[in-house]
């Protein structure tokens, strides 16, 4: 698997699947989630509502992943995953790692060759960037997957530097 690092906007990535750092409601939010829903258009939200009605009425569990259309994004699919909120009193790193593993598993079922990941849980969920980068890169490198290319797409210089140090 080829791992690449991009500084930029994940909504502009021409890949098979873009990973969304979603909230459990699947109904959009801020940060990466809001950007994906805004740029992708109402088709994404419509599929998320169907998923909520049929399978995830209480919300998508933390560490799990599910796919929808990508709407107007240059990707084919959006893989939604709910990252954990960082806690100083509880080790939740396995849940963060699960986001990456489960997203790759879903990508494999879609036969996606390329996947773009954001820095999951590093925004409002408060995960320290250096630790998030370590978990993300180690988990992706250690995953058995048919995905051929994983892009870590980071919006700012600090995130780009943290992931660059791990790659």
H or E stretch covering 51: helix 42-54
Average pLDDT, the chain: 96
Give yes or no for residue 129 having a pLDDT over 90. Answer: yes
Which of 124, 123, 125 minimizes the C-alpha distance to 158?
123
When pLDDT is averaged across residues 74-93 and rounded to a whole number, the result is: 97
Structure tokens at 137: 């890169």
Q: Which whole number is the average pLDDT over 126-148?
A: 97
Could you tell me which CATH number the domain at 2-166 has? 3.40.220.10
Domain boundaries, the chain: 2-166
- Residue 81: pLDDT band (50, 70, 90) is very high
- The CA distances from residue 11 to 34, 52, 68, 78, 130, in Å, are 10, 23, 15, 10, 23
Residue-level pLDDT at 146: 97
Kindly state the average pLDDT of the residues 155-159. 95
Give residue 57's pLDDT.
85
**Tokens in use for 105?**
């598993």
CA angle 52, 135, 165 (to 5 degrees): 130
Q: For residues 103-124, give the mean pLDDT.
A: 97
pLDDT of residue 55: 87
Mean pLDDT across 81-100: 97
- What gap in Å lies between CA 26 and CA 67, rounded to an integer? 11
Q: What band does 128 get if pLDDT is binned at 50, 70 and 90?
A: very high
Instruction: Give the integer Cα–Cα distance in Å for 11 and 76.
Output: 12
pLDDT band of residue 139 (cuts 50, 70, 90) is: very high
The DSSP letter of residue 135 is H
CB of 16 closer than 8 Å to CB of 114: yes
Residue-wise pLDDT tens digits, 17-66: 999 999 999 998 889 999 999 999 999 999 999 998 888 888 999 999 99
- From the list 126, 28, 149, 127, the residue with the least C-alpha distance to 78 is 28
Mean pLDDT of 93-99: 98
Which residues belong to the active site? 33
> pLDDT-based confidence at 135, cuts 50/70/90?
very high
């Amino acid at each position: 698997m080829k791992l690449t690092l991009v500084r930029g906007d994940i909504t502009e990535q021409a890949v098979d699947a873009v990973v969304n750092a979603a909230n459990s409601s699947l109904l959009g939010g801020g940060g990466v989630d809001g950007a994906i829903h805004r740029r992708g258009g109402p088709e994404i939200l419509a599929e998320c509502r169907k998923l909520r009605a049929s399978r995830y009425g209480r919300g998508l569990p933390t560490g799990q992943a599910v796919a929808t259309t990508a709407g107007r994004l240059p990707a084919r699919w959006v893989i939604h995953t709910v990252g954990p909120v960082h806690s100083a009193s509880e080790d939740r790193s396995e849940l963060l790692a699960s986001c990456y593993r489960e997203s790759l598993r879903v990508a494999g079922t879609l036969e996606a060759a390329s996947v773009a990941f954001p820095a999951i849980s590093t925004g409002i969920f408060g995960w320290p960037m250096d630790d998030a980068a370590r978990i993300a890169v180690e988990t992706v490198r250690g995953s058995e997957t048919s995905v051929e290319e994983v892009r870590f797409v980071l919006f700012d210089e600090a995130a780009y530097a943290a992931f660059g140090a791990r790659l």
